[in-house]
């Protein structure tokens, strides 16, 4: 059997050798970057979510007087961890075309919805008992809005993701809160009327956000287009060119 060196005849190229011995093995750099950014993103977002779960437990525990001290610092640290993971996830999915990560993100989104629903029910319980102060109320509102922000951020990671199914459980819980409000202020004895402001604030905010999610009117479309333009500038430019009217020979314009 002739050696590989004897196959290199004068005037021949390495392609002849590759056709016999096969191309040299090399690592798929794009696949490696896709996997590495996915694992980094999962780690950072998971750390942020576990930290947020601990913070929520401390806030709802009435025995921890110092639970709200430095809450803004804690929220900023958790937000930084989640934002870093979100950026890595965006690079993995949009930049390197990861096809596995979007499936995991969908599971994360449903898990986040379940967490928001449980938090919403817990807040309704706290509002019904009326054993909270102004600082705790703002903490309740911040964690609810934070959970919805995480849900919407996960929605933006995946192309073609639909938020409408996520709005239905939140609207059901809002209807339950309305029932609790009527029961507390109509059928109960000696309710604190000033705390009705807190009930109405939580109810209208959660109902408004859920209704916007259900209506699907494209509020997040400009942001999604901006993200797509960041990673695929040619795609958005081609779409805009197709949307422009084209001129004909007689000077009239026609739509594409």
Q: What is the pLDDT of residues 80-115, one digit of tens each?
A: 999 999 999 999 998 888 889 999 999 999 999 999
Per-residue burial over 26-41, b if 16 or more Cβ lie within 10 Å, else e, is eeeeeeeebbebbebb
Burial status of residue 122 (CB atoms within 10 A of its CB: 0-12, 13-18, 19 or more): middle
If residue 253 lies in a helix (H) or strand (E), which one and from where to where?
strand 253-254
pTM for the structure as a whole: 0.73
Which pLDDT value is given to residue 187? 86
Query: Residue 162: is its pLDDT beyond 90?
Result: no
Which pLDDT value is given to residue 120? 94
Segment 106-154, tens digit of pLDDT: 999 999 999 999 999 999 998 998 888 888 888 889 889 989 999 999 9
Question: If you count them, how many residues does the chain have?
Answer: 256
How far apart (Å, rounded) are the C-alpha atoms in residues 157 and 91? 9
Out of 19-28, 44-53, 122-131, pick the least confident: 19-28
**What is the domain partition of the chain in residue ranges?**
30-231
Over residues 35-44, the mean pLDDT reads 93
pLDDT category at 246 given cuts 50, 70, 90 is: very low
Mean pLDDT (the chain, rounded): 78
CA distances from 214 to 108, 117, 210, 219 (A): 20, 16, 6, 12
Query: Residue 168: is its pLDDT beyond 90?
Result: yes
How far apart (Å, rounded) are the C-alpha atoms in residues 199 and 182? 11
pLDDT category at 249 given cuts 50, 70, 90 is: very low
């Amino acid at each position: 059997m002739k050696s590989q060196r004897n196959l290199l005849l004068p005037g021949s190229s390495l392609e002849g050798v590759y056709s016999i011995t096969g191309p040299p093995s090399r690592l798929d750099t794009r696949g490696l970057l896709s996997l590495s950014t996915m694992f980094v993103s999962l780690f950072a977002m998971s750390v942020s979510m576990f930290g947020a779960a601990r913070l929520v437990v401390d806030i709802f525990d009435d025995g921890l007087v110092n639970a709200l001290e430095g809450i803004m610092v804690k929220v900023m640290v958790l937000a930084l961890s989640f934002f870093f993971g979100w950026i890595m996830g965006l690079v993995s999915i949009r930049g390197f075309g990861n096809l596995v990560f979007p499936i995991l993100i969908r599971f994360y989104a449903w898990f986040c919805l379940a967490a928001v629903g449980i938090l919403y029910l817990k807040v309704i319980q706290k509002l019904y008992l009326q054993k909270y102060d102004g600082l705790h109320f703002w903490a309740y509102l911040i964690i609810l809005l934070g959970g919805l922000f995480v849900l919407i951020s996960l929605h933006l990671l995946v192309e073609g993701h639909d938020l409408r199914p996520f709005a239905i459980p939140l609207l059901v819980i809002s209807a339950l809160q309305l029932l609790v409000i009527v029961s507390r202020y109509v059928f109960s004895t000696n309710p604190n009327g000033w705390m009705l402001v807190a009930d109405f604030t939580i109810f209208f905010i959660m109902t408004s956000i859920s209704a916007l999610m259900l209506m699907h009117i494209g509020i997040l479309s400009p942001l999604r287009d901006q993200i797509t333009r960041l990673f695929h500038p040619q795609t958005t430019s081609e779409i805009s060119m197709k949307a422009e009217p084209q001129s004909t020979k007689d000077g009239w314009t026609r739509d594409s």
